[in-house]
Every structure is written in C-alpha cells, then in structure tokens.
Structure 1
Amino acid sequence: MTDAMYTPNFDTQEFLAHHWQKQPLVIKGAFAHFQDPIAPDELAGLACEEEIASRIVLTKKDNWEIFQGPIEDYSPFGDANWQLLVQAVNHWYPDVEPLVNAFRFIPDWRFDDLMVSYATPGGGVGPHIDNYDVFLLQGEGRRRWKVGAKGQYSPRGGDTHTALIDDFEPILDVVLEAGDMLYIPPGFPHRGETLETALSYSIGFRAPSQQELFSSIADHLIDTNGGNKRFTSNQEPASPGLLSVEQQAGMLALVSEILSQPDHYQTVLGQTLSQNRFELDLAEQGESYSQEELMEALEDGACLQRIGGLKVIRLEGDKHLRLFINGEIYDFDAVDDDDADELDDKLMLLANAFSFEGKQALDLCQREAIGQYFIWLLNSGYAYLA
C-alpha cells in the first residue's frame, strides 16, 4: 500500500479557506485510482473483537434497528438492507494509516477516528445530524447521499437522545463512486443509501463544547486542589434577600480569572485534546527497555513507530517544555537552559512525526532527554520498534 495512492487530488488550502466548517462539498475523484486499504472480511474480523466498537444497522420500513458488536454471525441479516460500522479502525489496522495521514492538513487535536462501513444494497443509517465535521469517502461500490440545509429539525419519534431526525429537503443529492468524497460540516442533516455493496470511510473531526471544556476545567481544579480563592466584596445589598449585580459580576470575574491563567487552561486543553474517545491498541510490553537496548536496536536498523490513533500535542506559547500524550503530560522542563531553545524545535518534530527511522532516531537520541522520552513511549505501550 503506497502513501501516494492516498494523496488528496484537490487543493486542501482552498478547501480550508472556502468550505471547512462552512458548507457541504462534493469532491468527485478526491483520491485518484483509489483502492480500499481494508477488505470486507478483514473489517468483519475487527467487528468480532470485544474491545473494538462496532454495530450493525438494519434498515426496516421507516425505521432502523441497531445491534451492538461484537458481531460473529451475519446470516440473520440476509444479503440486503444492513450496514456494518466499525469505529477507530486506525487504532487496530495499521494499513489504513496512509489514508489517515492524507487528512493531516487538519490538526491532529481535532481528529476523532476513521470509521469504516460495509453496506449491502439498501443499507444506511437514516436521516441524522452530526455534531462534528465528517468526510465521507467512497471505496468499492456506490452510495447515494442526500444533504439538507442547516435548520431546526424534529428528533425522530420525539427522542432527544438520538441523532436521527424526521426527513429533510435535500440541497445536495449525489451518487459517490470509488475515490469520490462528500464533506459535511456540523449541523447539516444527511442520509446515505447503498445502491450496490459498498465500503465507505468516514473521517471524523471533533471540537470540544462549552460543557466539555467546563467539565475538564472543574476536573483539573479538583485533581490539583486549585481554584480555592473565595469571593469577597466591599459592600452588601440593602435588601437581605438580594444578590446584587456587582456581586454577580464579582463571582463571574473569579471564574474568568481562573480561565485566563495559562497554567490552568493550557494544561486542561493539552490533556483534554490529546485524549482519545476510543480505546487504543497499546503495544505489548515485555521487559522495560533501557537506553542501551534502544540504541542497539536503532543501530540494527529498527524504526520507532507510534501506535495508531495516538495523539501527541505541543501547545504554542507554552512556557513549559512539555508534550501532551493521550491525556498525560511528558515534561522536559528539567533540561539545561542552554539546551532549552534547541529542544523546543525538537518537540515539534516529536509531535508531528508518526515514526522515527534509524539514523534520525539515533541523532535524536544523542539528546538524553529525547532518548528517555522514547523509552517512556515504548514502556507505556505508546510505541513499538518495527
């Protein structure tokens, strides 16, 4: 499988300027000569696994029935009107990595997962609205997609816990074939219908909500026993049953003060946005690696490879020398000041690269701090030697 096969066949910068988070877009031939990086039977194999999130959606007259995985027997579903969906395939199946890399014109912190679906004719999930950006890339087979305008839609059957809605008037109605892609920003209703047995790839990007950010900040303050400053005021209202406007403003100012301190908000953002919603496939850990063993392996031509789906994030303007990895903080602050500037550049490389080949890895390991970081990655199951 070559990376070249998964080179976007469209202007990504123009896309970001004019369509990203604004309007749905059909890109015919988004990937030229597209070939599926996974076969249907391999996808079915992943759906057997307990730790992998999968489901079957069965299309019934005017309704959909969902069967949660693991799924081992497909015979009850027949040969039409159902769809298998497997989440976070990029965590478990390394051959899809070149396809995921093709979407790194959008930063890693936004990337949610690569979901792959196998659908029989008539299979689909019904009209629904997502709260994230999604690229729907067609593999083998053909699917018809309809997209509606943003607006107020009633949840299907009055159930506010479902993303399904009553139907909508389409502004886009398109048939996708291998290599074609549909981009849908949050809030646009859409529905897919399979015309002939199809593999489809859903590349999802998500950003935090106010609720999620406040919840993360509260967790951080509790964990660090921070945010203990109490409200004080210079004067009290004349009426005993009243909370004055000044006091309301003063309490909100206390909250704003916490939110304006980088030590709080940068830590919260780094930890929250480097975490994954789906389980990672941690590398098997044998004995703990030593610096000497790592250097020997690299000299023998080994390559240090990050596991699929692992997020490594550097915060611009962070006064600490640190990386955020899957919700954890890896600190380089103890390094000599003379080395700090040079190391700052290296941290960006450590965040951007998925793998470190022999010579490059050996050069990086000349810095003891980076060698120790590689050992920590290996011993945490976040990387392996290939």
Structure 2
Amino acid sequence: MFSLNFDISEFLTQYWQKKPILIKNAFPNFEDLISADELAGLACEESVASRVVVTKPNDWQIVEGPFEDYDQFGDKNWQLLVQALNHWHPDSSDFINAFRFIPDWRFDDLMVSFATPGGGVGAHIDNYDVFIIQGEGQRHWTVGDKGQYAPKNNDPTTPLIEGFEPIIDAVLEKGDLLYIPPGYPHQGQTLTLAMSYSIGFRAPSQQELFSELADSLIDNNSGLKRFTSSNEPKLASQISTSHQQDMMALITELAANPDNYQAMLGKMLSQNRFELDLCEPEEPYSVEDITDYLSQGALLYRIGGLKLLHIEGDSVQRIFVNGEAFEYPAHIEADIKDLCENFRFSNPQALALTQTPATQQLLLSLLNLGYFYFGE
C-alpha cells in the first residue's frame, strides 16, 4: 500500500491549483512500481504510448515509440517516457489510489520516466496539474512563478520557454513529491540514472466544453430554439447590443438546463485519452459463468485507467463508463457506489455484488465489454 505522508486537507486548502510545493519524503520507504527493464519492454509494444526525449545543445529531439532497442541513444542525455502505465501494469492501482482525494474525472494518467544523467525536457509550462514522485536516483528540479515567458526559439506552438527565476530549487530523492499547478514553469534535469512518476490531472477548456455540447445537441436534435427580438436597430447594417446579448442568452439558457449538459459531461469526462487494455472474453460471459468463477474463489478487477462516474443530482439513474451511459434501478445504489469507488474486489465482495439480479446484469455487461475481469 502507498500512504501519503502529509496533511491532505491542508494541501487542498493551501496548494491545490494555487501554488507549487515540494514535499520531502511524501512516500516513506517508497519502492519503484516497475523496473527500468520492464518499462523498456513495455515501450516496445505498439499499443503503449511512449517516446524518448534526447537532450541536445539548446534543443531537444523527440523519438516516438515503439522501440526495438535503446543502444542508439547512448548512456547519457536522454529519457524514456511511457504514458498511462496504470493501463498496462495492474500493480500501479494502489499508487493511483493514494491520489483519489482528487476526483476520478480529473485523472489523466500515470506517466513513468527512466532517465540517464543529463536527460530532461527543458523549461516548459503545462496546462494541467501534475504530481512528480521520485523513484530511484536523483533529479534536480526548478519551478518558477506564474508570468509571461518567451517561447523557446520564438516558436508560439511549443510549451518550452527560454527560462525563468526559480521559486523552488531542489534535488528530489526517492519518495519525494513535487506538485506543480497549471501555468507554473518548471524544468527537471537528471543527475543519476533515475526513475520518476508523474500523475497528471486535467480539466476541460471552454473550447472543449463548447465543442462537446454542440456535438451533443446535434446528436440529440436539440437546442433548436431560435433568436427572437422585441426591437430592431435604426441602422440596417448594425447588430445591436441588445441583439448580441439576447443571442448569447440562448447559449446561457442551454447551459443552465441540466438535461442539456449532464449526459454530455458524463460521457466526455469518463473517456480516456490513452488506449485501454480491454479484457474482452473470447466468448461472452453468462450469469452461470459469473457464478462458476466466483464459486472457485476468483477475485474481480477493474481494468487500469477505466473511469466509472456518476453525476450528482443527475436527472437519470445512471453511471458513465468510458463514454457510455448505463442506467440502473434505484435499489442497487449501494452496489453502484462500490463498483465506482473500488479498483478490485475480494471474492466475498464480488459474491455480495452478484446477489442482486440488477447488479449482476450490469456487471455481466461490464465484463463482456472487457471493462472488468476475473483473476486470482
């Protein structure tokens, strides 16, 4: 189990989305989730998102995976990054669980880095919250304050910047944690062979929300109300202030109606940016199969990265799983909460879930979609 060695309430009040903080020994007796060799092997897989960043004088080269070998990169000035380790490495679930004081809908992925001395990505700014946890080895991190920074090489499309004055300047060692909110420039440089773990949390932008809402309205053939006016401008060529405001009020009216946005948000926020490692059965499970597996002592697992979300105050009794809505009767609400809150279930817990036919049918659907699976 992984336990954080700091006051979570204090962190949420004083630091979360407000300012960065370095917490030494945040994970006492921390042990790496995966070895460097195992990570390198994962990056050989086509379905795993990976890249190598090579540090060059005043520049960086990005080589996209998968990789057959790493000899070409030498023994310094590069790092291997593997996205969404939690999708492919079940043992990472306990580590992820330690950060669930932040809601699941924000969670993006667990990225893992193996870096050689001199490896890094340069000064840059992210648009998401990130927790960086140091494994084996040492990395030197600097974090600057929010401000206006010149893009690297005057390239407006790059997150890299020319530089900053640090407000945090420290060497991270095993178990140390660095939290960086969106908008704060930062840079890490590897001092020794090192493993590090980045847990990212994202939130949708206005652009993304508008796009999703528009798609949802089109799919449901809704949002058809048109603008009407009570007065007209004196100039034929003018779009009056009142007309502008009344047209924008149509959007406000749409956004104020939960029927227009709840399903859209549930579907949008339950989807994942990275490929899921689905465990679809060769032949569809039946209720009898579930009973048989559990009678033999099987445990029940949720696949890594899968989000099960519910909307507070939803107008429909449903959960959202990987962009799809699943309705359920009110009397299995407690079972639904268990399914949403837990990554794995002991045999007695799984047996308890199957005692109610409605829960059993929902679980059967999730198993056949490859979202849950049986294991030892």
- TM-score, with length taken from structure 1: 0.95
Find the aligned partners of 1:128 and 1:54 in 2 and give their Cα distance.
Answer: 19
Q: Bigger shift: 280-289 or 147-156?
A: 280-289
Correspondences of 1:166-181 after superposition (within 5 Å): 166-181=162-177
The structural deviation recorded for 1:256 is 1.1
Shift of 1:288: 0.6
Residue 358 (structure 1) aligns with: 347
- Deviation (angstroms), 1:378: 0.7
Q: Counterpart of 1:247 in structure 2: which amino acid?
A: H
Q: CA deviation digits over 1:270-317, x for unaligned, max 9?
A: 111111011111114211111121122122211221100000001111
Structure 1 partner of 2:337: 348
TM-score, length-scaled by structure 2? 0.97
> Aligned runs of 1:88-237 on 2, under 5 Å?
88-237=84-233
Supply the distance in 1 between the matched residues of 2:123 and 2:44 (Cα, whole angstroms): 27
Whether contact under 8 Å (2:280, 2:368) holds in the other structure is: no
User: Which of 254, 259, 271 is residue 255 of structure 2 equivalent to?
Assistant: 259
CA distance in 2 between counterparts of 1:21 and 1:235 reads: 45
Task: Please state how far the C-alpha of 1:363 moved relative to its aligned partner.
Answer: 2.1
Do structure 1's residue 385 and structure 2's residue 374 form an aligned pair?
yes
1:235 CA drift (Å):
2.7
Measure, in 2, the Cα distance between the counterparts of 1:263 and 1:372: 27
Query: Once the 2 structures are TM-superposed, how far is the Cα of residue 38 of structure 1 from its aligned partner?
Result: 0.1
- What corresponds to 2:271 in structure 1? 275
Q: Does 1:7 align with 2:37?
A: no
Q: How far apart, in 2, do the equivalents of 1:109 and 1:202 lie?
A: 17
Contact 2:143/2:187 (8 A) holds in 1: yes
Aligned residues: CA RMSD:
1.1
Output the CA distance in 2 between the equivalents of 1:287 and 1:82. 44
Instruction: State the shift of 1:226 in Å.
Output: 1.3
Is the 1:83–1:118 Cα contact (8 Å) retained in structure 2?
yes
| Rounded Cα–Cα distance in structure 2 between residues aligned with 1:74 and 1:245 | 62
**How big is the shift at 1:71?**
1.4
Q: Which amino acid aligns with 1:345?
A: A
Shift of 1:347: 2.3
Which of the residues 367, 370, 375 maps onto 2:356?
Answer: 367
Give the CA deviation at 1:223.
Answer: 1.3
- Measured in 2, the distance between the counterparts of 1:355 and 1:80 equals 40
Contact kept in structure 2, 1:291 and 1:371, CA below 8 Å:
yes
**Letter aligned with residue 214 of structure 2:** A
Pair 1:323 & 2:312 matched: no
Q: In the aligned structure 1, how far is the partner of 2:342 from the partner of 2:177?
A: 26
Q: Which residue number in structure 2 is paired with residue 73 of structure 1? A: 69
Partner of 1:46: 42
> Could you tell me which amino acid in structure 2 is paired with residue 64 of structure 1?
W
Partner of 2:235: 239
Structure 1 residue 118: deviation in Å?
A: 0.3
Residue in 1 that maps onto 2:26? 30
The CA distance in 2 between the partners of 1:219 and 1:252, in whole Å, is 18
Aligned partners of 1:10, 1:237: CA distance in 2, in Å? 61
Q: Report SS of the residue matched to 1:179.
A: coil
The CA distance in 2 between the partners of 1:368 and 1:260, in whole Å, is: 37
Residue number among 286, 292, 312 corresponding to 1:296 in the alignment: 292
Cα separation, 2, equivalents of 1:238 and 1:193: 64
Report if aligned partners of 1:314, 1:347 keep a CA contact under 8 Å in 2: no
Structure 2 unmatched ranges of 5 or more: none
Distance 2:262 2:89 in 1: 32
Which has the larger displacement, 249-258 or 175-184?
249-258
- Figure out how many residues of one structure are paired with residues of the other and give that number: 375
- Runs (4+) of structure 1 exceeding 3 A deviation are none
2:280 touches 2:367 (CA, 8 Å); kept in 1? no
